[in-house]
A and B are shown apart, each in its own frame.
Chain A
Amino acid sequence: MNSLHTLLTGILASRSGRFGLSMVLFHVLLALVSPWLVPYQFDSQSEIINHIGPSLQHWAGLDTLGRDVLTRTMLGGRQAILVTLLATCLALTWGGFCGIMAGYKGGRTDEVIMRGIDIFLAIPFMIFLLLVIATFGNDPVVMILTLGFFYGIGFVRLARAATLDVVVKDYVLAAKSRGEGTFSILFREILPNVRDVLLVESAMRWSWMLLAFSALSFLGFGVTPPTPDWGLMIASARIYMALAAWPVLLPMIALSSLIIGINLTADALAKSLGLDRSTRVLL
């Protein structure tokens, strides 16, 4: 638990870190408890459709179908957060494993993995994502698998580079000469030393996945109406933005504050761990 404590103090040391982390916690907590907090059903329509501005009954007004905007915004991040978090775990697991293996084994394994990565990096993943969803439907499992696969590619490169720095260290050599097995070395010597890099990268990739997920639902591929989702809400309400601003602004604020929060947290974490994040390659 000591290391968790260190990470937390690191983040909380800076003002932007405190702000970012509280943003993220707020959104995650809200996603967990919002079904019991919302004032209305997410799909119940009001009879007073022509009164769409904010009022005492509907604090953020109604959307064009007469549904409560506040309710839908509070619920709108749940699917996005769940899908992207699980996809981040998946990406971290497979990408981290392949990268560490490539860095540790070197030679043939390294060559095969890295050339494969080069190929998948060149494929425009947004088009692929759309294609997969158009074919297999927007089932959350499909989304998690595809997002997890494509965003894991970056982890491979990163984990490999970090491992290459570690394998030459004396303690790895010592473990090898003690006769420890590959997996023991991977988990007890290398993983603890590349963990920081992977952790910061996970946070970043989580925010990119949120960007991708909301872009998908903005394009109409992410979630199926009437499920509330920020991207979808923005897409459907932005046409009426000049008439009713709240149905667009509220989900915009929600989505942006979550992503900014994640980024500020990651930045603060990277700074406190002495890692430099801004030179990292994007994909």
Chain B
Amino acid sequence: MLLLIARRFLFALITLWAVSVVVFIAVELLPGDACQAFLGQMAQGQRLDNCRSKHQLDRPAPVRYLKWADGLMAGDLGQSIKRDKPLADIIGSRFRNTVILGLSAAVLGIPLAILLGAIAALYRDRQADLWISGIAIFCMTVPEFITGTLLISVFGVWLGWLPGIVIMRADAPVLEVLSNIVLPVITLTLVMVAHIMRMVRTSMINILASDFVLMGSLKGLPRWRLVLQHALPNALLPAINLIALNIAWLMGGVLVVEVVFNYPGIGRLSVNAIADRDFALVQAIALLMASIYISLNLFADLVTLLLNPRLRSQRGTG
């Protein structure tokens, strides 16, 4: 058991290292470097050479990778040449904002998704299921920027209940952030609920058809106990991994949602960083997102391992 956990940790670390190499190489392969992007029209001759030697861009790539990786280990993300600031200062509060956004959506969405999924499974192919599943397909497929725009025009412009776009400084206090994010959170939640609900529904349907549920009902267990105590926990087990993957996948959606609502988070920052070719910043954000993905995955793996005794005897499931 301990060995299995250690193995998972080791794999996660190796993956993280490999991702850092891939990210570094990918940015390295792009034509132009940070100094050219910084100097723009003036990027030639002595000025370019000076800038490169100042930021040590004239060193060979492996040396720079080692220096970058060394800094990362010590918690130093490096320096943005373009913005002339430490990256940690730029990313810090925006990362916090994105986490607030994502967490609120998750806290709101996951219980709702489990509830709806269970209901849909219990009333399979009946009115309730058809409605829930139908709306889920709709929420899942309509792009976030359309949902977001529609929400803004209904609640922001038409009814005037909520601010349409977020106008705040990146380092605003948490309470102010929370009061601003109702619409972005709803947008994210809709997509998330739809995805997770469908998984819970399927997994619940499979469990409800299994022998032990039949056994329980033959034994005369009340329906609510059968569902809440026996079926639901077992149905959620396979869903945990998928939920973690989903949340990580939704990070792509966060990017669009943040742009739509003008939200000062890491997604919008990355779009800006790409638009003005701030390679160091892009690298740092990409690595940050990758590490979130890896740790969520690891977390889900460990939780399933702890909750499901059947997995413990096997070797890793790949």
Contacts and interface: CB of A to CB of B under 8 A. Distances in A.
Contacts of B142: 256, 259-260
Given A241-B157, A279-B199, A279-B238, A124 B252 contact: yes
B300 to A, nearest CB: 11
A13 to B, nearest CB: 14
B311 to A, nearest CB: 17
B157 A128 contact: no
A56 interface: no
Contacts of A256: 141-143, 146
A130 interface: yes
Interface in B213-252: 238, 241-242, 245-246, 249, 251-252
Contact of A279 (B23, B146, B203, B259): B203
Interface in A237-275: 238, 241-242, 248, 252, 255-256, 259-260, 262-264, 267
Interface string A95-120: 00000000000000000001100111
> What range describes how many residues of A lie at the interface?
35 or more
Nearest to A119: B18
A127 B285 contact: yes
Contacts of B242: 279, 281-282
Contacts of A238: 149
24 contacts: A118-B15, A119-B18, A122-B16, A122-B293, A124-B293, A125-B252, A126-B255, A131-B282, A135-B30, A215-B255, A234-B146, A241-B153, A242-B153, A242-B158, A255-B146, A256-B142, A259-B141, A260-B138, A263-B140, A264-B137, A278-B199, A278-B202, A282-B195, A282-B249
Given A115-B18, A134-B275, A211-B141, 13 more contacts: A115-B15, A119-B22, A122-B293, A124-B286, A127-B286, A215-B144, A231-B143, A241-B149, A256-B146, A262-B141, A264-B137, A278-B199, A283-B249
